Amino acid sequence: MLRAEVVQLLVELHQATPTVRSFAWHRVELSSRPHLQAALNELETPWKGGPFSEPARALLSAHQEGVIGLLAGFDRLVAEVATRGGDEVITHGEPHSGNVMRAGEKLVLLDWDTVGLAPPERDLWMVVTDTGEELALYLDLTRRRVDQNALSLYRARWQLDDVASFVSLFRSAHATTDDTELAWLVLTRSLDDVDGWRSVSR
> Does pLDDT of 115 surpass 80?
yes
> Does pLDDT of 165 surpass 60?
yes
> Does pLDDT of 180 surpass 70?
yes
pLDDT value of residue 1: 60
User: What torsion, rounded to 10 degrees, do the Cα atoms 118, 25, 190, 138 define?
Assistant: -30
pLDDT value of residue 191: 94
- 39, 171 Cβ separation under 8 angstroms: yes
In CATH, the number for domain 2-201 is 3.90.1200.10
- 81, 119 Cβ separation under 8 angstroms: yes
> Does pLDDT of 128 surpass 80?
yes
Question: What's the whole-number mean pLDDT along residues 75-94?
Answer: 91
User: Which amino acid belongs to residue 186?
Assistant: V
* Share of residues in the chain with pLDDT > 90 (%): 80
User: What torsion, rounded to 10 degrees, do the Cα atoms 112, 113, 117, 118 define?
Assistant: -100
pLDDT digits (tens, 9 = 90+) for 15-54: 999 999 898 888 777 888 999 999 999 999 999 999 999 9
Report angle CA 20, 25, 26 to the nearest 5 degrees: 115
pLDDT value of residue 9: 95
- 44, 130 Cβ separation under 8 angstroms: no
CA distance 18 to 34: 33
Could you tell me the pLDDT band of residue 201, with boundaries at 50, 70 and 90?
A: very low
Burial class of 165 by CB neighbour count within 10 A (0 to 12, 13 to 18, 19+)? middle
> Does pLDDT of 199 surpass 90?
no
Break the chain into its structural domains and give their ranges. 2-201
Alpha helices (runs of H) in 16-130, residue ranges in sequence order:
17-20, 33-41, 53-62, 64-84, 121-124
> Does pLDDT of 158 surpass 70?
yes
Query: Is the pTM higher than 0.85?
Result: yes
> Does pLDDT of 6 surpass 60?
yes
